[in-house]
Amino acid sequence: MSKWLFSHAFKIIEQIESNRFQAFIVGGAVRDYLLNRPISDIDIATDALPADIMKIFDKVIPTGIKHGTVLVRSQQLSFEITTFRKESGYQDHRHPDSVTFVSDIEEDLSRRDFTMNALAMARNFKVIDPFGGESDIKAQIIRMVGNPNHRLQEDPLRMMRAVRFSSQLGFAVDPITLKAIQKNALLLEHIAVERIAVEWEKLLTGSYMRKGLQLLLETGIHSHLPLLSEHVEVQNQLKKLKVPFPSMTAFIAWAHLLKRNTPISAWSRKWKLSNQQKKDANLLVKVFDILYDENQWKWAVYLLPERLISSFVAVYTSFTKQPITMEKIIDIKRNLPINSRAQLDINGKDVMKCFPERSKGPWIQKNLERVEQAVVNGEIENDSKKISEWILNERF
């Protein structure tokens, strides 16, 4: 995928250059190329203005012309192309008060956060590295470009990004950058929770999560994160986590299980999660309790959708030494007698026939759920006649 993407990106660059402009691949794609990591998207920087790019290419989406950014579509791929620029003033700790277009790639790179991201690549694979990013990558160091205090005051989210990159790459943070993060951690309170949540989830899913979490606690950033700042027990347990969480949902379920008196709704509200994330976290807790307290493997696995299996395994194994793997859960799921209530050989009308004297009510759904659970657990066969007999005998 990476070679294919680079090939297409170089064609875009060649087309820009044929119109007498400069163009380079910039940022994370260059870093990940040097690290031999997978690359899913490529950004391009150029001295051409958005108006020039719109003349050169047929399919251009003006996503951020004010800041010099457009999206070029080519063979079902999208490339974000931004004009070289310098920025000044960050009153809201996020957006520059002014943006000035420039003609020098090195001046453009000087505004970026870390040296490993302040890299550019020409279409002959030559790397432009004015701030020592390549040597920092080799040394596995996360270092701010320029004065770290100034860069963090421009956008305090860079503190979370530093910790997140440590979790993803296993890199250490440069001592001067580390001190700046500790000094400016309070500025995180100026940042929208939604932006922090994106970085937090990436941190939790990182291959070197323990390193990232250690850095989070060492810098004091945790003291400015929603609800986490209030729960010392959750902070302490973070130090003991061994396996990355596959999702924010898994973290919220885990945190609630540690502090049951803080409902999932509170975590979801503070972190501004979606209703789906909230539902998923509640379901993870429900399945956890069924398995942990009642040891009902089949019923627990039946209730667990495939998209949440990895999250559940991470949560469950953080609380118990009982062996559980994704493979085991998938195997159990494959061998269940049914995969949904719709596959029951009985429905609400059939249940009503068993009790003709009763009026419609919630008892019908209650019966169906009991039947569903009994079939899943192998207590009865999924046969309408046998189910009806079972309902009459149970009379619930």
Tens digits of residue pLDDT in 211-242: 999 999 999 999 999 998 888 889 999 988 88
43 is in an annotated binding site: yes
Q: Is the dihedral of CA 144, 147, 149, 154 positive or negative?
A: negative
Q: Which two tokens stand for residue 61?
A: 């989406």
341 is in an annotated binding site: no
Over residues 246-264, the mean pLDDT reads 95
Q: How far apart are CA 82 and CA 45, in angstroms?
A: 5
Over residues 62-74, the mean pLDDT reads 90
112 is in an annotated binding site: yes
Place of tokens 């309902």: 391
Q: What is the pTM of this model?
A: 0.87
List, as one string, the DSSP characters of 352-368.
HHH-TTSPSSTHHHHHH
Please count the other Cβ atoms lying within 10 Å of the Cβ belonging to residue 377: 15
**No. of H helices and E strands in the chain?**
20, 11
155 is in an annotated binding site: yes
Q: How far apart are CA 324 and CA 302, in angstroms?
A: 15
Q: Which two tokens stand for residue 339?
A: 């995969």
293 is in an annotated binding site: no
143 is in an annotated binding site: no
Q: How far apart are CA 69 and CA 48, in angstroms?
A: 11
Q: How far apart are CA 222 and CA 163, in angstroms?
A: 11
Over residues 67-87, the mean pLDDT reads 91
**Is 56 or 100 the better-scoring residue by pLDDT?**
56
Contact 84, 46 (CB under 8 A): yes
383 is in an annotated binding site: no
Strands (E), the chain: 23-26, 43-46, 60-64, 69-74, 77-83, 85-88, 98-101, 120-121, 127-128, 141-142, 172-173
